[in-house]
């Protein structure tokens, strides 16, 4: 298979759009579960299914796809850049002609993701505020409001935990997928079964290690332009007011989303990349 940069860019862009469109409702549920606080009357949402059910009942079924526009912009831009950067960075970490180790794959995946999300952090801030709003908001109105209240730097709210979260996610998704695939392919061949199996491993691993950073990132982004809480402040207040389990709020929709997203993305990516490379050869 050719390592053509254009093929990786096209394949990752299309695969990101497919995976994001399929799994966005789980992301909406995850985001709303993460920003809700315990009160004397309990919580508004009791899990992923309850959140999606109440959202659809009170705001319409379309609300389960809130933030689709910025989500697609974010995933296509961030995802494609990560995939384009991953293989060159992976090769930088090992000698020429040498097979990369699992650690080198993890490091390359995390580095590619951290660079990409630093550039495209504003798209995630916009998506978060649209998803947590009870009323319908447009990208334009959210952008205007954030800028008016917090200036240009408000679009990089939550950047530190987002870099940490994205490093962990990409290390787990790209690095673990790459490693799992390399171990599965000798037994199954380079086919859909290998891609689906490796995707499942990557999705579960990603959810387990990245959820705490994702909770803090979501809470900071939800208040972008309104307050300026620090990462340490968000961590300590969450621990003090809600306890350690709060750092895994939204875990069920995260793991469901990750497994579905990784499967939809990597299977689509592998097939589209083959087709694009085959077309380029002709």
Note every long-range contact of 109-112, with CB atoms under 8 Å and residues 24 or more positions apart, other chains counting. 109/82, 109/170, 109/171, 109/172, 109/173, 109/174, 109/175, 109/176, 109/178, 110/166, 110/167, 110/168, 110/170, 110/171, 110/175, 111/85, 111/167, 112/81, 112/82, 112/83, 112/85, 112/86, 112/170, 112/174
Q: What pLDDT is stored for residue 61 in this prediction?
A: 93
Question: Taking all residues of the chain, what is their mean pLDDT, rounded to a whole number?
Answer: 86
- pLDDT of 125 over the 70 cut: yes
Q: What pLDDT is stored for residue 97 in this prediction?
A: 73
Of the chain, the percentage scoring pLDDT greater than 70 comes to: 94
Spatial separation of the C-alpha atoms in residues 179 and 198, rounded to whole Å: 8
Q: What pLDDT is stored for residue 175 in this prediction?
A: 85
* pTM of the entire predicted model: 0.69
What mean pLDDT is predicted for residues 3-22?
Answer: 86
What confidence category does residue 38 fall into, taking pLDDT thresholds of 50, 70 and 90?
Answer: low
Q: What is the pLDDT of residues 69-79, one digit of tens each?
A: 888 988 888 88
What confidence category does residue 1 fall into, taking pLDDT thresholds of 50, 70 and 90?
Answer: very low
Spatial separation of the C-alpha atoms in residues 256 and 51, rounded to whole Å: 14
Paired tokens of 128: 């978060």
Q: What is the pLDDT of residues 54-100, one digit of tens each?
A: 999 999 999 999 888 888 988 888 888 888 898 889 888 887 778 88
Q: What pLDDT is stored for residue 2 in this prediction?
A: 44
Least confident segment among 63-67, 132-136, 225-229, 250-254:
225-229
Q: What pLDDT is stored for residue 227 in this prediction?
A: 65
Q: What pLDDT is stored for residue 281 in this prediction?
A: 62
């Amino acid at each position: 298979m050719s390592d053509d940069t254009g093929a990786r860019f096209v394949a990752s862009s299309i695969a990101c759009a497919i995976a994001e469109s399929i799994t966005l409702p789980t992301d909406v549920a995850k985001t709303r579960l993460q920003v809700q606080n315990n009160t004397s009357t309990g919580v508004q949402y009791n899990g992923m299914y309850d959140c999606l059910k109440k959202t659809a009942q009170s705001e319409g079924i379309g609300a389960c796809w809130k933030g689709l526009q910025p989500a697609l912009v974010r995933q296509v831009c961030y995802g494609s850049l990560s995939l384009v950067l991953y293989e060159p960075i992976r090769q930088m970490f090992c000698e020429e002609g040498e097979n990369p180790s699992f650690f080198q794959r993890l490091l390359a995946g995390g580095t590619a993701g951290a660079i990409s999300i630093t550039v495209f952090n504003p798209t995630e801030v916009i998506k978060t505020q649209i998803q947590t709003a009870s009323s319908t908001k447009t990208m334009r109105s959210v952008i205007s409001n954030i800028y008016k209240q917090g200036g240009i730097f408000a679009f990089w709210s939550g950047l530190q935990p987002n870099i940490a979260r994205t490093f962990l996610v990409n290390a787990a998704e790209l690095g673990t997928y790459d490693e799992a695939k390399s171990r599965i392919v000798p037994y199954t061949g380079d086919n859909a079964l290998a891609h689906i199996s490796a995707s499942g491993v990557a999705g579960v691993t990603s959810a387990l290690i990245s959820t705490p950073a994702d909770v803090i990132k979501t809470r900071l982004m939800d208040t972008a332009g309104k307050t300026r809480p620090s990462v340490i402040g968000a961590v300590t207040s969450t621990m003090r007011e809600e306890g350690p389990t709060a750092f895994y709020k939204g875990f069920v929709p995260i793991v469901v989303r990750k497994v579905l997203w990784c499967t939809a993305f990597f299977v689509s990516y592998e097939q589209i990349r083959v087709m694009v490379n085959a077309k380029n050869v002709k």
